[in-house]
């Protein structure tokens, strides 16, 4: 007789993430028409809440796209063929900035960073000094492919001191790590809906700091659908330039209300606890954290010697109904990644590390150093 099969699917993916029941209910409403008083009020209220989340007194726009759409909008609305850019690498998403700059014909240089490491701010400073002049730096806050967090505050200090613009991919850091845009001096922040914002994919957000307002008028690349000048004009009347994903906007209103009710500081602290608990549980089983400075959005783990990362991902899925991600590109088969962005708590992590323990044992891993569930619980409590 074979073991019973799991009947639930639990997402521990680094996006899309679990959508909370409250948000699912909001999604089930009949789609409103977007050119109505009611929807205009909702859009403006959501925009206000996003402004607070992005930490800016500037402008925030919703774009109908996955996160990459906002990344592309940042490039096409800020850059010109004669403005040089510096893209910070270090993973698949850092490389995406370079790919976008390449596609848009923007002259650029990439600052290579070892995968799993966080960029040394001194290296950013040196690149700006030696390879310049640069107009704009494109950086990633939480590098989802390696689980590394980059020190945006330190990078912003450097760019601000030199009058260089800074654009940050905060797709797996907003509502997870503090990123006060105006206070730190970040010109543009982009985010997506299916990570810390806890709704399905389809909305990207882009915020422009107050001092950078004229940047989108000065850019010289062609734009049409993602023309932020059009978005600006429409939002003044409570509308979007094109038909917005209305149901997702209703879902976002709900998830932003959840974040507000819990409190943004509490949300950040909970993600810190999720990250600590996951690492503690996994470490107790002989796994090691891949990133030197781990993001609280996703925990990248190297399995103990003799266990292949893909085999762990497969067993977690088949036996436990838990969906995690493997490594991408050069990290394929090297790491596995557990996402814990959004509505996750200690019980989720206890279940995850318990299942991870079962997998490690079944795949011939070493004896646990200690009980992973207990290790996770203790780390969760440690503020
Ligand atoms: C998910 C993600 C993106 C965007 O990916 P999409 O598939 O376009 O939503 C960009 N950057 C980071 C760091 C991400 O995690």
Instruction: State which of 15, 201, 325 you would mutate to test the pocket of ligand 1, scoring each by most atoms of that ligand within 8 A of its C-beta.
Output: 15
Q: Which domain holds residue 223?
A: 21-261
> In this structure, what CATH number is given to the domain that contains residue 373?
3.90.1150.10
Q: Based on the fold, state whether residues 74 and 187 are members of the same structural domain.
A: yes
- Distance between Cα 173 and ligand 1 center (Å): 11
Q: Based on the fold, state whether residues 293 and 353 are members of the same structural domain.
A: yes
Q: The whole model's pTM is what?
A: 0.97
Work out whether the CA dihedral 325, 329, 331, 334 comes out positive or negative.
positive
State the Cα–Cα distance between residues 350 and 278, nearest whole angstrom.
Answer: 8
Q: Based on the fold, state whether residues 151 and 180 are members of the same structural domain.
A: yes
- Distance between Cα 60 and ligand 1 center (Å): 18
Instruction: State which of 172, 176, 201, 340 you would mutate to test the pocket of ligand 1, scoring each by most atoms of that ligand within 8 A of its C-beta.
Output: 172
Q: What is the CA radius of gyration of the chain?
A: 21
Q: Based on the fold, state whether residues 224 and 117 are members of the same structural domain.
A: yes
Q: Based on the fold, state whether residues 67 and 172 are members of the same structural domain.
A: yes
240 lines ligand 1 (CB under 6 A): no
Number of domains in the chain: 2
Q: Based on the fold, state whether residues 31 and 127 are members of the same structural domain.
A: yes
Q: Which of 261, 276, 300 is the last residue of a domain?
A: 261
pLDDT in tens, the chain (383 residues): 688 899 999 999 999 999 999 999 999 999 999 999 999 999 999 999 999 999 999 999 999 999 999 999 999 999 999 999 999 999 999 999 999 999 999 999 999 999 999 999 999 999 999 998 999 999 999 999 999 999 999 999 999 999 999 999 999 999 999 999 999 999 999 999 999 999 999 999 999 999 999 999 999 999 999 999 999 999 999 999 999 999 999 999 999 999 999 999 999 999 999 999 999 999 999 999 999 999 999 999 999 999 999 999 999 999 999 999 999 999 999 999 999 999 999 999 999 999 999 999 999 999 999 999 999 999 999 97
Tabulate helix, strand, coil % of the chain (nearest 5): 45, 15, 40
Q: Which of 261, 290, 320 is the last residue of a domain?
A: 261
Exposure class string for 351-377: b at 16+ Cβ within 10 A, else e: bbbebbbebbeebebeebeebbbebbb
Residue 372: both structure tokens together: 């992973």
Q: Based on the fold, state whether residues 165 and 286 are members of the same structural domain.
A: no
Q: Based on the fold, state whether residues 363 and 257 are members of the same structural domain.
A: no
> In this structure, what CATH number is given to the domain that contains residue 27?
3.40.640.10
CB within 8 Å of 229: residues ≥ 6 apart: 77, 216, 217, 223
Q: Please name which of 143, 145, 250, 239 lies closest in space to residue 199, comparing C-alpha atoms.
A: 250
- Distance between Cα 320 and ligand 1 center (Å): 26
6 falls within a domain: no
Q: Which of 220, 246, 261 is the last residue of a domain?
A: 261
């Amino acid at each position: 007789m074979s073991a019973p099969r799991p009947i639930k699917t639990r997402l521990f993916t680094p996006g899309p993430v679990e959508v909370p029941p409250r948000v699912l209910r909001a999604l089930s409403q009949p789609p409103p028409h977007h050119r109505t008083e009611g929807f205009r009020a909702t859009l403006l209220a959501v925009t206000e809440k996003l402004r607070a989340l992005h930490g800016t007194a500037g402008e925030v726009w919703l774009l109908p796209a996955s996160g990459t759409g906002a990344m592309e909008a940042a490039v096409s609305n800020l850059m010109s063929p004669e403005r040089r850019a510096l893209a910070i690498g270090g993973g698949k998403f850092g490389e995406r900035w370079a790919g976008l700059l390449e596609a848009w014909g923007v002259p650029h240089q990439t600052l290579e960073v070892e995968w799993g490491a966080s960029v040394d701010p001194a290296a950013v400073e040196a690149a700006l000094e030696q390879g310049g002049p640069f107009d704009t730096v494109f950086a990633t806050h939480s590098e989802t492919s390696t689980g590394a967090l980059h020190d945006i505050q330190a990078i912003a200090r450097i760019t601000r001191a030199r009058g260089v613009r800074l654009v940050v991919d905060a797709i797996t850091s907003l509502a997870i790590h503090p990123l006060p845009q105006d206070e730190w001096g970040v010109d543009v922040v982009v985010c997506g809906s299916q990570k810390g914002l806890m709704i399905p994919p389809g909305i990207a957000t882009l915020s422009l700091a107050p001092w950078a307002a004229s940047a989108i008028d000065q850019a010289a690349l062609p734009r049409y659908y993602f023309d932020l000048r059009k978005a600006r004009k429409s939002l003044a009347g409570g509308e979007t330039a094109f038909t917005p994903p209305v149901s997702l906007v209703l879902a976002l209103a709900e998830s932003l209300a959840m974040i507000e009710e819990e409190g943004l500081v509490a949300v950040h602290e909970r993600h810190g606890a999720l990250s600590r608990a996951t690492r503690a549980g996994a470490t107790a089983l002989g796994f090691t954290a891949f990133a030197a400075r781990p993001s609280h959005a996703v925990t990248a783990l190297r399995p103990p010697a003799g266990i292949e990362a893909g085999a762990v991902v497969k067993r977690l899925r088949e036996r436990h109904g838990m969906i995690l991600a493997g490594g991408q590109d050069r990290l394929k088969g090297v790491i596995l990644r557990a996402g814990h962005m959004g509505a996750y708590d200690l019980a989720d992590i206890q279940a995850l590390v318990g299942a991870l323990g079962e997998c490690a044992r079944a795949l011939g891993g070493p004896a646990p150093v200690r009980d992973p569930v207990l290790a996770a619980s203790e780390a969760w409590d440690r503020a």
